Amino acid sequence: MDNAGMKKGIVLKDDWPGYSLDLFTYPEHYHEDIESVYIPHGIIMNRVERLAGYIMDDFADNNNIMVLCVLKGGYKFCADLVEFIKVLGRNSNKYLETRVEFIRLKSYLNDQSTEELQIIGSGDLSFLRGSVLIVEAIVDTGKTMKALLKHVETFEPKMVKVAGLLVKRVPNMAESLTDYVGFEIPNHFVVGYALDYNEYFRDLNHLCVISKTGKMKYKV
């Protein structure tokens, strides 16, 4: 079966309001700070398991996956994805050796509109010569991802794939850069599942829409 369409993500329409907070549990300290549960943790987890399945199929011939996790927002997605890859390997007796490296990125445009990408705190990236899976929480215009891909290509990897938990529908969206998409969402600011607003909300499991009160309270 051709999975190409399914790898492109569950599409959340522009008018999706999210679920009422009363329907789920969440940390009490965020009681007034979130508007709705945009994507519940259980749905995220099952979607991540599904993506792990596609990845297993695509990397099977290479016997290993060199995972490049883009911090900080990607840490939960990456941890859960790698865990599911291990479980699926165990259950099918087709173990894939998995290694993980972590990077942080700062991107900015100079006055020539040339993208420059600063890679921070990277360990030894020589493992990028293998079969690489870039794991990123959000891909929107793709400017950052394009620059990162260019950098990874300099190591001449055997293959490079990109997993994005969320792809945002923005003008010139970069859907085609992302091989495995969890969810395609409107251009909303969401928090939770390691995505932050000024470092808050990373401890929230669901992906949520922040409330006006929350925006004010954690403003810097």
Q: Which residues bind ligand HPA (CB under 6 A)?
A: 73, 138, 189-191, 195-196
Type of residue found at 116 = E
The CB-of-187 to ligand HPA minimum distance in angstroms stands at 9
Applying CB under 5 A, does 104 fall inside the site for Mg ion?
no
**What value, to the nearest 5°, has the Cα angle with vertex 38 and ends 205 and 55?**
65
Which residue intervals of the chain are DSSP H helices?
Answer: 41-59, 75-92, 143-153, 212-217
Taking CB within 5 to 8 Å according to partner kind, which of Mg ion, ligand HPA, none is near residue 189?
ligand HPA
Applying CB under 5 A, does 196 fall inside the site for Mg ion?
yes
What are the φ/ψ torsions at residue 128 (nearest 5 degrees)?
Answer: -70, 0
The CB-of-130 to Mg ion minimum distance in angstroms stands at 29
Taking CB within 5 to 8 Å according to partner kind, which of ligand HPA, Mg ion, none is near residue 81?
none
Contact present, 151 and 115 (Cβ < 8 Å): no
How is residue 9 annotated by DSSP? Answer: -
2 noted as active-site residue: no
What are the φ/ψ torsions at residue 89 (nearest 5 degrees)?
Answer: -65, -45
Instruction: Rank residues 4 and 220 by Cβ distance to Mg ion and give the closer one.
Output: 220
Could you say which of 140, 179, 196, 203 is catalytic? Answer: 140
The CB-of-137 to Mg ion minimum distance in angstroms stands at 9
Q: Which residues are catalytic?
A: 140
